[in-house]
Amino acid sequence: MNLPLPMPDGPDILLVEDTASMRTIYESHLRRAGYRTVSAGTAAEGLEMFRVHPISVVLLDLMLPDRDGLDLLVDLLQMRPETSVVVVAAERSTDRTVTAIRRGALDYLVKPVTESRLMEAVEAARRAANLAHRPHSAAARAPLPDFIGQSAPMHEVYDRIRAAARSMAPVCICGESGTGKELAALAIHRLSARAQGPFITLDCGAIPPDRLESELFGHRRGAFVGALSDRLGAAELADGGTLFLDGVGELHPTLQPRLLRFLQSGLVHPLGAEAARRVNLRILSASTLPLAEAVRMGQLREDLFYRLQVVGLQMPPLRRRGEDIVPLAETFLARFAAIEGRSFTRITPEAMALLRAYPWPGNVRELSNVLRAVTVLHEGEELTAAMLPPELASPAPSRPGAGLATVPDLSGLTLAEVERAAIEAALTRHEGAVQKAAADLGVSPSTLYRKLESWRTD
């Protein structure tokens, strides 16, 4: 095997492609953009070149004459995990895409690959590789911005966020209401190669179904009654950055096929527009209900699930983060004391014991709200147990959905009737407080509002 000697400055990109004409085309595009390339026609040649050169980006065809490209992908990343690998395939296959991303590929291209699409992928790969080559810097070891907590569950979250940030893979962040799902999505964006691009959030559960398509894809003037001017949707606003679909497990069934087509094609077709436009963005999503469970319940299409959750991230509830309650409470107290002009500087041991013992069904958001209320309603240097809400001394059931035990005999009821009984029982326990009832049931408040509205029109 005749292999080239290492280049003086080293090549930027290794191209592994068995078709000579395709190698020539890719090399031409890359060299015109100023990249230095080295290429191979087989997996064995590519692996050897990878050993010889300090490559940071690999463009890898999955159909090679001597070996499956997916297996070569694993070997490359085992040798140098910080490498950015962009895979290329002759046809789009959901299974192959998911497998490639889960094995560590940064992006997945389908032939024929246009020059613009190739350069988008390679430039993102270079940015990701540059970030990954600084693993031992002080910034990389520091806690993630805006997060508080050193518990084992949170360290798992931090590691997962850092790993997900290197990739272009779709990530779905699941967890109870108030656990910080949007904060995690924003951290992935800020640590990614797209950090300089926009971060656009769309709350799928809070927008009425008849407006959701327009909010996501935009519309042109006159597309429907009330469309008085052109409007960009969230997908176009996120071009070059990240689109965060919050509450995606509650996405209305009529919009799911359109979202699936968009994820497959990357084309945005605003309502009333004659032509579609291609956008380049990354999809992050969040759901209080695990997406696999939403599929099982018939709320989410299975093919959409595979597009949204290549990588999963589970946010732990506060009751599993016991040691984090103290720094969280102290941080919130100091923050709100400064905002409200109070002199609080510490929390008494008795008050801290109550904070630690309470199960926090509303998670970090509920803890923050409690500390904000205390600073608004009280004065002094010490936060005492007497200042805390009375329910902290007699907490409600700690497990989301635990209120089901208080529902009367459910035998003979349909699933819809059981669901309604559980929701009504939770609302009764919390005296009609939708936010608290939703936290108790482990769903978002928008879900309960929609259920209540639908029952009013029955």
Q: Which CATH number fits the domain that encloses residue 111?
A: 3.40.50.2300
pLDDT of 104 strictly over 90: no
| Identity of the amino acid at 457 | T
What pLDDT sits at residue 23?
92
The mean per-residue pLDDT over the stretch 28-32 comes to 92
Q: Residues near 128 by Cβ (< 8 Å), separated by ≥ 6?
A: 84, 106, 166, 167, 192, 193
Q: Residues near 319 by Cβ (< 8 Å), separated by ≥ 6?
A: 359, 360, 398
pLDDT of 18 strictly over 60: yes
- Domain assignment present for residue 162? The answer is yes
CB neighbours of residue 342 within 10 Å: 18
Residues 267, 158 within the same domain: yes
pLDDT tens for 343-352 read: 999 999 999 9
Q: Which helix (H) or strand (E) holds 38?
A: strand 37-40
pLDDT tens for 152-205 read: 899 889 988 988 887 778 899 999 989 999 999 999 999 888 888 999 999 987
Q: Measured between alpha carbons, how far is 89 from 18 in angstroms, rounded to an integer?
A: 12
The model's pTM is 0.69
Chain position carrying tokens 């094609």? 265
Of residues 238 and 436, more confidence is placed in 238
DSSP-assigned beta bridge partners for residue 171: 284, 311
CB 288 within 8 A of CB 249: yes
Of residues 449 and 281, more confidence is placed in 281
Residues 273, 285 within the same domain: yes
CB 219 within 8 A of CB 227: yes
Q: Measured between alpha carbons, how far is 352 from 370 in angstroms, rounded to an integer?
A: 13
What pLDDT sits at residue 355?
94
pLDDT of 96 strictly over 80: no
Residues 41, 188 within the same domain: no
Our count of domains for the chain comes to 4
- Across 39-53, 241-255, 288-302, 397-411, least confident range: 397-411
- Domain assignment present for residue 4? The answer is no
Q: Which CATH number fits the domain that encloses residue 345?
A: 1.10.8.60
40: left (phi over 0), alpha (psi -120 to 50) or beta: beta
Residues 286, 367 within the same domain: no
- Domain assignment present for residue 235? The answer is yes
419: left (phi over 0), alpha (psi -120 to 50) or beta: alpha
Residues 177, 297 within the same domain: yes
CB 187 within 8 A of CB 145: yes
Of residues 402 and 295, more confidence is placed in 295
The residue among 289, 314, 339 that closes a domain is 314
Residues 45, 99 within the same domain: yes
Residues 182, 217 within the same domain: yes
CB 182 within 8 A of CB 233: no
- Domain assignment present for residue 2? The answer is no
Structure tokens at 282: 């990354």
String of DSSP letters for 341-372 = T----EE-HHHHHHHHHS--TTHHHHHHHHHH
Residues 232, 123 within the same domain: no
Q: Measured between alpha carbons, how far is 458 from 286 in angstroms, rounded to an integer?
A: 30
Quickly state the pLDDT bin for 137 (edges 50, 70, 90).
very low
What is the 8-class DSSP label of residue 144? P
- Domain assignment present for residue 397? The answer is no
Q: Measured between alpha carbons, how far is 69 from 124 in angstroms, rounded to an integer?
A: 21
- Domain assignment present for residue 226? The answer is yes
Q: Measured between alpha carbons, how far is 5 from 417 in angstroms, rounded to an integer?
A: 72
Residues of the domain holding 383: 318-392
What pLDDT sits at residue 110?
83
Structure tokens at 206: 């809070």
Mean pLDDT across the chain, nearest whole number?
83
Structure tokens at 401: 């959905």
pLDDT tens for 358-417 read: 999 899 999 999 999 999 999 999 999 999 998 887 655 544 444 443 444 555 666 666
pLDDT tens for 206-217 read: 788 778 888 899
Quickly state the pLDDT bin for 60 (edges 50, 70, 90).
very high
Residues 324, 351 within the same domain: yes
- Domain assignment present for residue 137? The answer is no
Q: Measured between alpha carbons, how far is 117 from 29 in angstroms, rounded to an integer?
A: 11
Residues 208, 270 within the same domain: yes
Q: Helix and strand tally (H, E) in the chain?
A: 19, 16
Q: Measured between alpha carbons, how far is 49 from 155 in angstroms, rounded to an integer?
A: 36
CB 448 within 8 A of CB 437: yes
Q: Give me the sign of the Cα torsion angle 441, 443, 446, 447.
A: negative
What pLDDT sits at residue 136?
43
Structure tokens at 199: 């971060």
What pLDDT sits at residue 435?
65
What pLDDT sits at residue 5?
40
pLDDT tens for 231-275 read: 889 999 999 899 999 999 888 888 899 998 898 888 898 888 888
Residues 172, 81 within the same domain: no
Residues 279, 359 within the same domain: no
pLDDT of 228 strictly over 70: yes
